[in-house]
């Protein structure tokens, strides 16, 4: 298993323990985007927590993508 996969699994387990369902659901996609765009780790955390704070019925990949574009722009 690669270092990135080990880190992902560790983060997913922590999110599960902390009951951060929406963060866990978006984690892989946001992590891939963050790595590709060389985000600061704090920026990645901001986007994930933003997904968690949004209404559960409105959280979507589209919103995460829009947040990612806001970071770029």
What residues contact 25, with CB distance under 8 A and at least 6 apart? 51, 59
Which of the pair, 53 or 36, is modelled with greater confidence?
36
- Predicted local confidence at residue 19, as pLDDT: 81
pLDDT at 16: 82
Q: Which domain holds residue 31?
A: 3-72
Confidence check: pLDDT of 5 > 80? no
Domains in the chain, number: 1
């Amino acid at each position: 298993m690669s270092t990135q996969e080990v880190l992902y699994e560790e983060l997913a387990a922590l999110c599960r323990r902390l009951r951060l369902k929406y963060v866990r659901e978006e984690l892989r996609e946001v992590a891939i985007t963050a790595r590709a765009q060389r985000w600061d780790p704090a920026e990645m955390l901001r986007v994930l927590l933003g997904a968690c704070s949004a209404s559960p019925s409105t959280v979507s990949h589209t919103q995460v993508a829009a947040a990612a574009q806001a970071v770029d722009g």
